[in-house]
Structure 1
Amino acid sequence: MHLTREEEKLYAGEYGEALETCMNLLVSLGDIYGAEKLVDISSAQVSGVSYKTIGEKGLEFLKDLADQGLKASVPTTLNPAGMDLIRYDELKFPKDFAKKQLEIIDCFKRMEVEISCTCTPYLTGNVPMFGSHVAWAESSAVAYVNSVIGARTNREGGPSALAAAIIGKTPCYGYHLSENRLPTQVFEVDMELEDASSFYGILGRITGRIVKNGIPYFKFKNCESVKNDYLKALGAALAASGGVALYHVEGITPEAKKGLEINGLEKVVIGKDDFEKEYDSFKTSEKPDLICIGCPHCSLDEIKEVAEFVKSENAKFNADVWVCTSIHMKSIADRMGYTKIIEDAGGKVVGDTCMVVAPIEDMGYKNVATNSGKAATYLPGFCKSNVIYGTTYEILKKATE
């Protein structure tokens, strides 16, 4: 890799051992993947936040960096924690877990990382410009920022994203390069799109398994009803069932609108039978003990949808209902009255966390209903959960039966 004189000083440890460690990590990544140089980034999104996922060794690593006085040099947002940082007692999170989780949060705070604790930083102010370089680590956020916004990031790990946040640079390889952002496979959806995030989650699960870590190009019959929330759900499921960090949708996503060459690419047709087979895989007679919406975190529209269900059905929930979102979205939902409507019905608008990174398996939850293709993919392995899948309406209805 070619390093500037200033980068060489960092690499040689002239500015201290801690910065040298971060620089070494970035240069090592660049060497592995054949990067010619480092590139400046405009923002970072750091994962590795929940105590459930990083454990004691991860906490020790963060303490070491924070104790050395390292700080983020670019705007940096944080992935979901393992609990609601305000209401963890009320929601009955384990006390020992809560203590460790707060220590992790303190480390990031000392490093001047924004304690946003969300997987949807693009909904809370971290919105890069088209074509800008960033270092993001959460898989669904990576898919969204690459695909829907058109900024450029690789699928970073937690340590590499944190190192990039501190140095303000990342190795220039992979999705930072235009030639690596071209589609590898075409998926033609041969049916009308249903107006629900769960539909796009199913589409992401099906196509993610086929394309693996390639770049899918989608052709939909109707594009008019496609919302950002649906693209969020699609990218999250693609990243979970495959390793997708970038996708294109004809006529919708910015790079697809520029006119990408797809002649000669393998074409896969996805039809009604494929969707029915995928939905059938979730059929169960089990009743949910937790209904969880918000993986990725809910937008304000998605919170409103839950509140409108409560009003239209005059609902009272007889199972635990979590509507997971960021503290930013929750504060607006509070002001709009959505939170009160949901919580008067027995649900909870939960901030900072979600069902996947929270220790729900230690909290007595076994049968989890979700409208998220990403959560449906991760819950059995991460949380030892039985998954009940459906639209927002379908799973909320189960909580009233």
Structure 2
Amino acid sequence: MGLELTEQEEAMIAGEYGNATQKAMQIITTLGEIYGSERLIPVSSVQIAGVSYHNLGEAGLEYLAEMAEDGQTRVLTTLNPAGMDLDEWKKHGIPPDFAENQQRVVEAFSRMGVITTCTCTPYLIGNLPHYGEHIAWAESSAVCFANSVIGARTNREGGPSALAAALTGRTAEYGFHLEENRQAEVKYDVQAQIENTDDFGLLGEVIGKRTRKEIPYITGINDATTDQLKSFCASIATFGGIALFHMEGITPNRTQIPSRTEIVTEEDMTEARAQLDDEDAEIDFISIGCPHASIKEIEKVAELLDGKRVADGKTVWITTAKPTKDLATKMGYYDTIENAGAFLVSDACCAVAPLKGRFTGLMTNSAKACFYARGKNNFKTEIRKLEECIEEAVE
């Protein structure tokens, strides 16, 4: 049985809703045909990745400009981080030519009705689906969080397919939209001490590398905060391409419990940390907020920096969403952080900003940040808990 379209969907693909919607529907239906979908389904929200000009380049910008000529979103649509703080980019050392092009990217999305949140944690600033809701999200960590922690349903969309879903309000019904594809396939019994955000990131590294796109069922975690879970989601998605996991007593999805079991030991965790720690790293860049920092994390950073001063030769970024930065400003955290010589950076992330050549060594509490710092910027890295990162930063 082939892909069946409604009258409205047929009209979209025939061009009756404009050029951008027609192209978007062509993308959606092609994916449906590739994956054997029988129908398209409505989605209630979209998260679009591929926003930083550092990644898009001129070709990507031209594509967005063309789609923005007559394309308009049909559902709540938010945006992934850009390559800079859209307001305070000058103080962060962003080149003017990059800033101009980045603004053009964001403006193109804005013309299409996209809410230019520029964050990888849309669930913290208003794009929060409910359990069982069908959505179309890009950004690997947010996809994993939505599927696993919230219990919404999304595949791991790319930038073009997410934009296509936003312009049509549809996605093809396949993959994680179907219950039979959401069942756990391998059990992981965690027999190691997992306490801090960096520990959860390292655990994601261990399980992600072993699992490689199978759906894990994880036991041995007694409690986890939202911040710890977003760290875990970012890491397991980065190191294993995982878009869905089950964590016993923590996540809401129902699943069969696999018979095949693997153990995560303290030795595994030590080895994972060693793989992200470069012995010869000379730390000149400290970054917190990959994924974007919550208001609670920013409060903690402000507390640790209060009355202190960032050491000469060190740069500190705390990256977050603009609404969270605004709240931090209202609460006085922005002034505390900036007065210490650190930067509270909104809209951007150390993984997508044009930082290559500016620094040599990164310290962070994020396993994902270590991965991208090495691969994209050739930085040496060290992963530490938040308190140790700030201790490294100050005089």
Query: When the two structures are superposed, what TM-score results if normalisation uses the length of structure 1?
Result: 0.95
Matched, 1:200 2:214: no
Equivalent residue, structure 1, for 2:60: 58
1:41 aligned residue: 43
Q: CA deviation at 1:13?
A: 2.2
Q: Does 1:142 align with 2:143?
A: yes
Identity %: 43
SS of equivalent residue, structure 2 residue 328? helix
Q: Which residue of 1 aligns with 2:160?
A: 159
Which one of the candidate residues 339, 360, 366 is aligned to 1:366?
Answer: 360
Per-residue displacement from partner, 1:107-151 (whole Å, max 9, x unpaired)?
Answer: 011111001000000000000111010000010000001111100
Task: Map 1:377-396 to 2 at 5 A.
Answer: 377-396=371-390
1:288 paired to 2:287: no
Deviation at 1:263, TM superposition (A): 4.1
- Cα distance, 1:283–1:386 mapped onto 2, change above 3 Å: closer
1:335 to 2:334 alignment: no
Amino acid at match of 2:6: T
In the other structure, the counterpart of 2:183 is: 182
How much does 1:18 deviate?
Answer: 2.5
C-alpha deviation, 1:286, in angstroms:
2.5
Letter in structure 2 aligned against 1:89: K
Distance 1:384 1:34 in 2: 41
Alignment of 1:64-143 (within 5 A): 64-67=66-69, 69-143=70-144
Letter in 1 for 2:31: L
1 CA distance for matches of 2:280 and 2:309? 22
Q: Which residue type is aligned with residue 79 of structure 1?
A: N
Q: Which amino acid aligns with 1:92?
A: G
Aligned to 1:234: 232
Query: Paired residue for 1:245, among 230, 234, 243?
Result: 243
2:351 paired residue number: 356
Query: Is residue 267 of structure 1 aligned with residue 247 of structure 2?
Result: no
Q: Could you say what the CA RMSD is over the residues aligned between the two structures, in angstroms? A: 1.2
From 292, 299, 306, the counterpart of 2:301: 306
Alpha-carbon distance between aligned partners in 1 of 2:45 and 2:267, rounded to the nearest angstrom: 42
Q: Give SS of 1:89's match.
A: helix
Name the residue aligned to 1:219. 219
Contact 1:289/1:320, CA 8 A, preserved across alignment: yes
- Closer/same/farther in 2, CA of residues 263 and 245 from structure 1, 3 Å limit: closer
3-state SS of paired residue (2:68): helix
Q: Which amino acid aligns with 2:394?
A: T
Query: What is the aligned partner in structure 2 of residue 317 from structure 1?
Result: 310
How far apart are 1:73 and its partner, in Å? 0.7
CA distance in 1, matches of 2:331, 2:340: 16
Count of aligned pairs: 390
Q: Report the Cα distance in structure 1 between the residues aligned to 2:279 and 2:360, rounded to whole angstroms.
A: 13
**Whole-Å separation in 2 of the counterparts to 1:27 and 1:71:** 19
SS in 1 for 2:263: strand
Cα distance in 2, alignment partners of residues 175 and 378 from structure 1: 26
Moved over 6 A (4+): none
- Give the TM-score normalised by the residue count of structure 2: 0.96
Instruction: Give the distance between the partners of 2:41 and 2:377, measured in 1 at CA.
Output: 37
CA distance in 2, matches of 1:378, 1:248: 26
CA-to-partner distance for each residue in 1:265-321, whole Å, 9 max, x for gaps? x2110011111112222142432111000000000111111112123xx42111111
Listed as ranges, the gaps of 5+ residues in structure 2 are none
The separation in 1 between residues aligned to 2:18 and 2:324, in whole angstroms, is 39
- Which one of 271, 279, 302 corresponds to residue 277 of structure 1? 271
Q: Is 2:7 the partner of 1:5?
A: yes
* Aligned equivalents of 2:282, 2:332: Cα separation in 1: 29
Cα distance in structure 2, aligned partners of 1:82 and 1:310: 25
Inter-partner Cα distance in structure 1 for 2:88 and 2:377:
21
Deviation of 1:395 after TM superposition, in Å, equals 1.5
Letter in 1 for 2:110: K
Residues 197-232 of structure 1 show CA distances to partners (whole Å, capped at 9, x for unaligned) of 100000001110111112111102x523x1011110
Cα shift at 1:86 = 0.3
Matching of residue 32 in structure 1 with residue 34 in structure 2: yes
- Unaligned runs of 5+ residues in structure 1 are none
**Which residue is equivalent to 1:375?**
369
Secondary structure of the residue aligned to 1:93 is coil
What is the DSSP-based 3-state SS (H/G/I as helix, E as strand, rest coil) of the residue aligned with 2:317?
Answer: strand
Q: Distance in 1 between matches of 2:161 and 2:258?
A: 36
SS of the equivalent of 1:127 reads coil
Which residue in 2 is equivalent to 1:254? 252
SS of the aligned residue for 1:361 comes to: coil
Pairwise CA distance, 1:16 = 2.9
- Quote the Cα distance in structure 1 between the aligned partners of 2:332 and 2:140: 31
Aligned residues of 2:282 and 2:360 also touching (Cα < 8 A): no
Do 1:298 and 1:323's aligned partners in 2 also have CA atoms closer than 8 Å?
yes
- Matched letter for residue 290 of structure 1: F
Going from structure 1 to structure 2, the CA distance change for 1:375 and 1:12 (only over 3 Å counts) comes to same
CA distance in 1, matches of 2:326, 2:10: 45
Q: Distance in 2 between matches of 1:14 and 1:99?
A: 34
